[in-house]
């Protein structure tokens, strides 16, 4: 009998891995095993419910299934796009309203980076840091560090800094993982399969009259009663209604871009159907900010498309029909929300801005400390203050209050550089896909508009922004213009 040879499973189609990669894989395995032991011990000692233990078992089963796949890197790229809307977190440290937590999206991103490093998937192309975006992002993080000078709670500030580093890391991992057209298609398919599921969940929540996340946690927001003029603002799986609305607005604009492309990209969802269900969920969300943001993004596309892709204008008729159909079916919801007291909501937000201005006047250079607004807001109330007190509903005001002039300039530079990088992509991407790149800019405008009306400092918010920023870089790299391909070929020949 021949002796059987025990072989280590390969992480990709590459049969022979470098010794360094093997040791890296061993190290990662030990770390994951230790983490699971720690989490299991914590659940046994502290947990009062079985759902988290069940979730841990489910994760273990999924990891076993994952190890059975040969194309693990491709699977992780798909999951990176798929997990974004399904927000779940495991809280490590809780400090007032600030949380240091491990999220599902972060764990998938770490898994993607680990598989990429162990298989050498990133070694085929030099790692790109996207300086146009990374440098202002680092400047914004440095502004957060400067706010440690005045912060009243360094723990909260450090938690916020860790989150800022995490977003930059997620952005870089996504950009470097979906550089080929094959991986870009996998990423997009995961993104829009998740979009379809999220739309189904959102419709179900509106039928049931309450929100729930993927862990089964229920949020009772009140049922919808059009006869009484009452709207129940469902949260989807994002945790907050305004993030869900921004997601539906931004991703529906992306689907419009896919439909307007002269060459089809298979994303496992018919764009017209996606526009119909996405527009319907946007109306059901009944949030004014995302509605207006969607209108701004759509107007931007209508203005820009005649310049960059004039042939796509004719296809806007079908887009209008799909959106119009969604509006007709859900017109009662739209009318109830349109009849709401908009002046009162605006006055409340402007009143909250006064507290932020008080903080800025007290600490105009570096602010009161990154992440500390909620803990110190009562110390900066105007003398004639009255009304509802909450965290300021304006991300730009929140930034200038917490990190001062330095932080505001850094954050504004970051947002402008993201738009600039996306606009450069319009010139770089192949001509049939230019409407798609324009739609990415429109989706980013939705986010930046929403920042005027809500705080945007949570992880569920930030993931949405940084996924769009990564998509703005990924698409032109994976679908470059033919002129760019010929230039690259000439450079290699030389």
Q: Is the pLDDT of residue 219 over 90?
A: no
Question: Residue range 232-251: average pLDDT?
Answer: 92
Q: What is the mean pLDDT of residues 57-67?
A: 65
- End-to-end CA gap in the chain: 56
pLDDT recorded at residue 62: 66
Q: Supply 402's token pair.
A: 């917490």
**Position 53 confidence tier, pLDDT thresholds 50, 70, 90:** low
Q: What would the two tokens of residue 126 be?
A: 């030099």
Quote the pLDDT of residue 226: 58
Q: How far apart are CA 477 and CA 488, in angstroms?
A: 12
Q: Encoding tokens for residue 170?
A: 């997620």
The Cα diameter of the chain in Å comes to: 91
- In eight-state DSSP terms, residue 240 is S
Listed in sequence order, the DSSP H helices in 212-315 are 241-260, 271-285, 288-308
**Average pLDDT score, the chain:** 86
Indicate whether 14 pLDDT > 50: no
Burial group, residue 307, by CB count within 10 angstroms (0-12, 13-18, 19+)? exposed
Give yes or no for residue 125 having a pLDDT over 80: yes
Task: Answer whether residue 72 shows pLDDT above 90.
Answer: no
For the cut 50, the answer to whether the pLDDT of residue 278 exceeds it is yes
> Where does the pLDDT of residue 119 fall: very low under 50, low under 70, confident under 90, or very high at 90 and above?
confident
pLDDT at 181: 92
Count of CA atoms in the C-beta half-sphere (13 A) of 477: 20
CA pair distance 74, 190, nearest whole angstrom: 11
DSSP line for 103-128: EHHHHHHHHHHHHHHHHTGGGGSPPP
pLDDT at 3 > cutoff 50: no
Mapped onto helix, strand or coil, the DSSP state of residue 424 is helix
Per-residue confidence (pLDDT) for residue 476, from 0 to 100:
96
Reported as a single tens digit per residue, the pLDDT across 31-51 is: 777 776 776 666 666 666 666
Whether 254 and 217 have beta carbons less than 8 Å apart is answered as no
Tokens of 119: 């298989």
Q: Which residues contact 325 (CB under 8 A, 6 or more apart)?
A: 276
Per residue in 372-418, pLDDT (tens digit) is 999 999 999 999 998 889 999 999 999 999 999 999 999 999 999 99
Residues in the chain, total: 494
pLDDT tens string 306-346: 999 999 998 999 999 999 999 999 998 888 888 888 888 88
For range 262-266, the mean pLDDT: 91
Cβ–Cβ < 8 Å for 232, 218: no
Percent of the chain at pLDDT > 90 equals 62
Is it the case that residue 437 has pLDDT exceeding 80? yes
Query: pLDDT band at 2, cuts 50/70/90?
Result: very low
pTM: 0.87
Q: How far is CA 178 from the centre of its chain?
A: 16
Query: Which residue bears the tokens 């603002």?
Result: 233
Predicted confidence (pLDDT) at residue 355 exceeds the cutoff of 60: yes
Predicted confidence at residue 98, as pLDDT, reads 82
229 confidence band (pLDDT: 50, 70, 90)? low
Residue 247 in this model has a pLDDT that exceeds 50: yes
Report which of 315, 198, 296, 306 is spatially closest to residue 256, judged by C-alpha positions.
315
Q: Residue 404: how many CA atoms within 13 Å on its side-chain side?
A: 20
Q: Give strand pairing partners of 94.
A: 99
- pLDDT for position 9: 42
- pLDDT band for 353, please (50, 70, 90 cuts): very high
Q: pLDDT category, 71, cuts 50, 70, 90?
A: confident
- 261/55: higher pLDDT: 261
Neighbours of 72 (CB within 10 A): 21
The Cα 468–Cα 297 span in angstroms is: 14
Supply the pLDDT for residue 4: 43
Confidence at residue 490, expressed as pLDDT on a 0 to 100 scale: 45
Beta strands 211-212 and 98-103: pairing type? unpaired
Give the C-alpha separation, 378 to 366, whole Å.
19
pLDDT in tens, 141-178: 999 999 999 999 999 999 999 999 999 999 999 999 99
Task: Select from 341, 402, 399 the least CA-distant residue to 368.
Answer: 402
d(CA 388, CA 379): 15
Following DSSP, what letter does each residue of 137-186 receive, concatenated? HHHHHHHHHHGGGT-S-HHHHHHHHHHHHHHHHHHHHHHHHS-SHHHHHH
Q: Is the dihedral of CA 84, 87, 90, 93 positive or negative?
A: positive
425: closest CA among 384, 466, 469?
Answer: 469
Residue 12 in this model has a pLDDT that exceeds 70:
no
Q: Count how many Cα atoms sit within 13 Å of the Cα of residue 385 in the half-sphere of its side chain.
A: 17
Burial pattern 205-220, b for ≥16 Cβ within 10 A else e, equals bbeeeebbbebeeeee
Classify each residue of 382-410 as buried b or exposed e, where b means 16 or more C-beta atoms within 10 Å of its C-beta: eeeeeeeeebbbbbbbbbbbbbbebbbbb
Position 106 scores a pLDDT of: 93
Q: How many helices (H) and strands (E) does the chain have?
A: 18, 4
Checking if the pLDDT of 23 tops 90, the result is no
70 has pLDDT over 90: no
Q: Which phi and psi (to 5°) does residue 60 adopt?
A: -60, -40
Q: What is the mean pLDDT of residues 89-97?
A: 81
Structural tokens at position 18: 């470098």
Cβ contact 328:334 at 8 Å: no
Lowest mean pLDDT: which of 165-174, 179-188, 229-238, 454-463?
229-238
On the question of pLDDT at 470 being above 90, the answer is: yes
Is the pLDDT reported for residue 134 higher than 80?
yes
């Amino acid at each position: 009998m021949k002796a059987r040879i025990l072989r280590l499973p390969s992480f990709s189609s590459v049969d022979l891995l470098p010794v360094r990669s093997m040791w890296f894989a061993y190290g990662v395995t030990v770390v994951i095993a230790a983490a699971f032991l720690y989490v299991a011990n914590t659940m046994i000692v502290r947990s009062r419910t079985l759902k988290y233990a069940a979730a841990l078992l489910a994760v273990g089963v999924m990891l076993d299934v994952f190890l059975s796949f040969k194309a693990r890197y491709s699977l992780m790229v798909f999951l990176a796009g798929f997990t974004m809307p399904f927000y779940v977190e495991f809280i490590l440290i809780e400090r007032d309203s600030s949380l240091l937590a491990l999220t599902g999206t972060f764990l998938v991103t770490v898994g993607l980076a680990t598989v990429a490093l162990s298989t050498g998937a990133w070694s085929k192309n030099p790692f790109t840091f996207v300086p146009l975006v990374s440098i202002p992002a680092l400047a914004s993080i440095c502004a957060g560090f400067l706010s440690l000078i005045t912060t009243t709670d360094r723990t909260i500030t450090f938690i916020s800094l860790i989150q800022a580093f995490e977003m930059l890391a997620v952005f870089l991992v996504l950009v470097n993982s979906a550089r080929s057209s094959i991986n870009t298609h996998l990423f997009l398919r995961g993104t829009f399969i998740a979009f379809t599921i999220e739309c189904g969940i959102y419709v179900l929540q509106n039928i049931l009259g309450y929100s729930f996340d993927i862990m089964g946690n229920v949020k009772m927001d009140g049922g919808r009663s059009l006869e009484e003029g009452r709207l129940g603002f469902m949260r989807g799986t994002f945790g907050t209604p305004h993030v869900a609305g921004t997601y539906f607005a931004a991703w529906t604009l992306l689907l419009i871009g896919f439909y307007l492309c002269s060459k089809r990209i298979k994303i496992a969802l018919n764009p017209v159907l996606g526009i119909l269900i996405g527009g319907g969920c946007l109306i059901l969300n009944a949030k004014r900010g995302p509605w207006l943001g969607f209108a701004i993004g759509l107007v931007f596309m209508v203005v820009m498309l005649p310049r960059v892709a004039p042939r796509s204008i004719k296809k806007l008729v079908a887009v209008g029909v799909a959106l119009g159909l969604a509006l007709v079916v859900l017109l009662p919801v739209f009318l109830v929300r349109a009849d709401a007291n908009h002046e009162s909501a605006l006055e409340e937000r402007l009143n909250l801005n006064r507290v932020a201005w008080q903080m800025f006047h007290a600490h105009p250079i570096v602010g009161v400390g990154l992440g500390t607004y909620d803990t110190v807001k009562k110390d900066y109330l105007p003398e004639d203050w009255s009304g509802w007190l909450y965290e300021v509903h304006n991300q730009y005001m929140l930034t200038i209050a917490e990190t001062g002039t330095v932080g505001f300039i850094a954050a504004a530079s970051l947002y402008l550089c993201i738009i600039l990088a996306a606009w450069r992509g319009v010139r770089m991407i192949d001509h049939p896909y230019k409407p798609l790149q324009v739609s990415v800019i429109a989706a980013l405008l939705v986010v930046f508009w929403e920042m005027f009306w809500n705080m945007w400092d949570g992880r569920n918010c930030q993931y949405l922004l940084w996924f769009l920023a990564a998509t703005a870089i990924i698409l032109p790299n994976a679908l470059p213009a033919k002129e760019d391909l010929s230039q690259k070929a000439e450079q290699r020949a030389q």
